[in-house]
């Protein structure tokens, strides 16, 4: 790739890649990595629609409040909508609970099949 880069400075990238039988996409990818160009998508970027820490705390306080402590997030969400209050989606409530407790599982009973032996 270095030879292609040196030759590209004199005759151009397309002609250099053709002369050295190098794919142009590989040439440009190698050139971009060596230039130290930043990734086009910045990492750890916060969504503008994400809940703020105050909003997250408000939702968590509500989930653990006395009237809602024994309810599922779907039921809490429905009750809040009946009261005319929308804080976040049901899925966001589950995400917040999972982030705090690690693993949130469904409470309904699932069939547990015995191990199959041939």
pTM reported for the whole predicted model: 0.54
72 found inside a domain = yes
The closest of 77, 97, 94 to 86, measured between CA atoms, is 77
Q: Is 58 helix (H, G, I), strand (E, B) or coil?
A: helix
Q: Are 79 and 71 in contact (CB under 8 A)?
A: yes
Range of the domain at 23: 2-35
Within 8 A by CB and 6+ apart from 43, the residues are none
90 found inside a domain = yes
26 found inside a domain = yes
Q: Which two tokens stand for residue 53?
A: 């820490």
pLDDT digits (tens, 9 = 90+) for 53-87: 999 999 999 999 999 988 989 999 999 999 999 99
Tell me: pLDDT of 31 over 90: no
48 found inside a domain = no
What per-residue confidence (pLDDT) applies to 83?
95
80 found inside a domain = yes
How many domains does the structure of the chain reveal?
Answer: 2
């Amino acid at each position: 790739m270095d030879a292609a880069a040196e030759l590209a400075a004199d005759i151009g990238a397309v002609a250099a890649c053709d002369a050295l039988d190098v794919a142009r996409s590989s040439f440009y990818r190698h050139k971009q990595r060596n230039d130290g160009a930043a990734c086009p998508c910045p990492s750890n970027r916060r969504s503008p629609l994400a809940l703020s820490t105050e909003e997250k705390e408000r939702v968590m306080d509500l989930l653990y409040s006395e009237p809602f402590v024994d309810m599922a997030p779907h039921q809490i969400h429905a009750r809040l909508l009946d009261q005319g209050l929308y804080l976040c989606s049901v899925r966001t409530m589950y995400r917040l609970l999972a982030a705090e407790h690690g693993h949130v599982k469904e409470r309904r009973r699932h069939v547990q099949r015995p191990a199959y032996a041939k």
